[in-house]
Amino acid sequence: MLMLFGVIMKPKKSVLIVEEQDELRRELSRLFEEHQYEAHEAGDIEFLWRKTELAGFDLILIHWRPEWYPDRFRVRAVCGKYPESVVIVAGLLPDYELAVDFLKAGARDCLGDTLSSTELVDACEAALNQHFRALRPWYNQSVMAIAAAIGLRDVETEEHCQRVSNTTVRLCRALGLDQEKHLQAIRWGAFLHDVGKVGIPDSILHKSGSLDPFERQQMRRHPEIGRDLLARIPFLEESIPLVLFHHERFDGSGYPQGLRGEEIPLEARAIAVADTVDAMLSNRVYRSAQTWETVLQELQDHRGSQFDPWVVDVALGHRETVFQDYISGSLVNLEASV
């Protein structure tokens, strides 16, 4: 995940290129880097086989060489060694049966050596998209299971997270973040932004009055608790900044790290607006829901202090779309929105 001045840029996909010849390997690396991949290199199958820590690449491109034929069983094993990665074997395979063998072992595709550079990248992109679409239902079920745990502690928090997720995704689209996979990470992060509250005692979480200094300090631990929980789930890695930084403030007075301005990831600056809007428009144990006019005034009053001015301007400029759940008075079904 690439960060520049705290802003999460559209995440680069990672590719591991396995090719024996140095010049060709570097050429393939440059090709994928030109298409916004983070390219890594391995000189032979033996290297890839030894490095069990290499799991986690989006794409593993094995550029088949004829001299590897005696070691084809190891290539076959590599095809199934990294289930979270898309493995593609490219090059002139000696026979159709070997290609079928690799595919049965777990390779996503076997490509000939007549493809142009553009066709090679396009084929890899198509395989990655297909892989993500296939995994997405399983990932969604995992997120729903986590949400169910939140709901057992606090139904209000679960419903709040649903609405914040919807609003954050719409706002991020308006901000120009439109890559499907990245928006899914934003959706999950916004939906789970309060997951750390499972570690907060009920006496604090459900207190009807104001929190004392100690209780407030305990409540402020929930972003870091959430980060620690999600850190154990690899597919939620890109969602963690929304969980950790959604209470940071543009002027640096937020928590947990006191980040300021563009040190705060853009997605977290967006969720700060969505989170505040929903909190103000919801009934809480300590106060009734505020009016829409009060919410709009709050965004304007804290533009530049609590909130990024640009994010506020975009949100208000696209209010009919960004805040449609509240304007229409309806909520999108949780199962469909996640």
Token readout for 269 is: 């600056």
Q: Please state the rounded mean pLDDT for residues 220-225.
A: 94
Decide which of 153 and 275 is more confident: 275
pLDDT band at 149 (very low <50, low <70, confident <90, very high): low
pLDDT above 90 (res 220)? yes
Decide which of 240 and 57 is more confident: 240
pLDDT band at 48 (very low <50, low <70, confident <90, very high): low
CA distance 72 to 188: 40
Q: In this structure, which amino acid lies at residue 325?
A: D
Domain positions in the chain: 3-126, 154-337
Q: Is 197 a catalytic residue?
A: yes
| pLDDT for residue 2 | 37
Distances (CA, A) of 232 to 107, 226, 228, 307: 26, 11, 7, 30
Decide which of 242 and 14 is more confident: 242
pLDDT band at 8 (very low <50, low <70, confident <90, very high): very low
| pLDDT for residue 223 | 95
| pLDDT for residue 7 | 38
Helix (H), strand (E) counts: the chain: 17, 7
- Degrees to nearest 5, angle at CA 121 with 73 and 66: 30
| pLDDT for residue 50 | 63
- Which fold is adopted by the domain 3-126? Rossmann fold (3.40.50)
Annotated catalytic residue within 12, 51, 104, 197: 197
CATH of 154-337, one of 1.10.3210.10, 3.40.50.300, 1.20.144.10, 3.10.290.10: 1.10.3210.10
